[in-house]
Amino acid sequence: MGDMLSSAPLDGAEDLITRLGGDPAKIAARAHVPLAALSDPGTLVLSYAMFDFFEYAAVECDCRTFGLSMAQRSSLAIIGPVWSLLNTAGTIGQMVEDLVKHFAIYSEASVIGLEPTDDGVLMSFEGRAGHCESEVQAMEYSLAITCNELRRHCPPDWAPSTVQFRHAAPADLNLHHRVFGPNLMFEQDRNTIFVDAATLQQKRQPTVSEDRANAEMALRKLGAEQRASIAARVESVIRTHGSLNDCSLQHVSTSLAISERTLQRRLAMESTGFKAILETVRADLALKYVTQSSLPLAQISELLGYSELSVFSRAFRRWHGQTAKTSRRAKVS
């Protein structure tokens, strides 16, 4: 995909990298990010290159918390026109719904899902398949700026009820706890923030109905111009579903409010199908689980919907040209 973003998320990166002893120009070149993007937030950058920039910077600077450190210098204002609508929301719940509903207008490189529960909602954050070897820093950055925005409208001691990450925990969790609070879980089936019902009802100010109407109209126009393909929408539903054990065509069609037959026909018009998209997501998540977590391969196999480890192992070799054990050893070394 040619998904281009404003380089606003990189604002402050040059200073931070220099302070950490790294070479900003070297990292930008490796990630194929224009050097001008580090000083001009209006520079357009390929979204996946920005993901890579965060990962390379963390390694180059030997800074496991690079994404979190960048989040302290940023805010949800990076999402541009969607931010204008969020600023008119009357409650945190409305703000969350606005963000999830319209996020694809900002970028299709990532997806945000919303799963209602009995006592709140799960907001899940995922990168799209097949472009970045690692997204640890980008996911931590994304969850952090979202958490920071929620905290802005809550009591001073507020923290999310739970924050989950797919990847393994770092050795030092001090900054993670300062950003997210005490309720952190790693090596989970997705990246999520749980927002409780009381927080969702929290009032926001100011709310100007006329401004909201104008912001919604502007986003509808942008959305019509940038309508995501049906394949991209299917991938988004699959990615934010969690465990793939029960992620079926029926589930996806229900989520999209499209009949199964119509969904299959529209996917065929884009030269793909449900099984092909599911396979792409499985291949992508398999590599991330194997290289970014220490979960046993049998558990990863189960999370991806395989009944037997041997079937998963054959699929992994087909996808990535080597065994899962070899990929994990290579990452560790």
pLDDT per residue rounded down to tens, the chain (333 residues)? 347 888 999 999 999 999 999 999 999 999 999 999 999 988 999 888 999 999 999 999 999 999 999 999 999 999 988 898 898 899 999 999 999 988 888 887 888 999 999 999 999 998 876 556 688 999 999 999 999 999 999 988 899 999 999 999 999 999 999 999 999 999 998 899 999 999 999 988 755 555 888 888 888 777 655 556 888 888 888 888 767 877 889 988 988 888 999 999 999 999 999 999 999 999 989 998 999 999 999 999 998 989 899 999 999 999 999 999 999 988 654
**Predicted local distance difference test score (pLDDT) of residue 239:** 84
d(CA 232, CA 236): 6
CATH C-level class of 4-200: alpha beta
Please check whether residue 82 is in contact with residue 106, taking contact to mean a CB–CB distance below 8 angstroms: yes
Helix, strand counts (H, E) of the chain: 17, 7
Q: In a 10 Å sphere around its CB, with 0-12 CB exposed, 13-18 middle and 19+ buried, how is residue 171 labelled?
A: exposed
CA distances from 297 to 77, 282, 287, 323 (A): 39, 14, 11, 11
The length of the chain is: 333
Q: Do 136 and 169 touch, CB atoms closer than 8 A?
A: no
Task: Enumerate the CATH 1.10.10.60 domain ranges in the chain, comma separated.
Answer: 230-332
Contact at 8 Å (CB) between 99 and 167? no
Q: Which among 278, 251, 254, 249 is positioned nearest to 264, based on CA atoms? A: 249
The pLDDT of residue 228 is: 66
Q: Is 160 helix (H, G, I), strand (E, B) or coil?
A: coil
Which H or E run contains 120? strand 120-127
Location of each CATH 3.90.1520 domain in the chain? 4-200
Number of Cβ within 10 Å of residue 272's Cβ equals 17
Pairing of strands 162-164, 184-185: parallel
End-to-end, the C-alpha distance of the chain in Å comes to 32
Q: Note the pLDDT of residue 329.
A: 84
Q: Which two tokens stand for residue 43?
A: 């520079």
CATH of 230-332, one of 3.40.50.300, 3.90.1150.10, 3.40.50.620, 1.10.10.60: 1.10.10.60
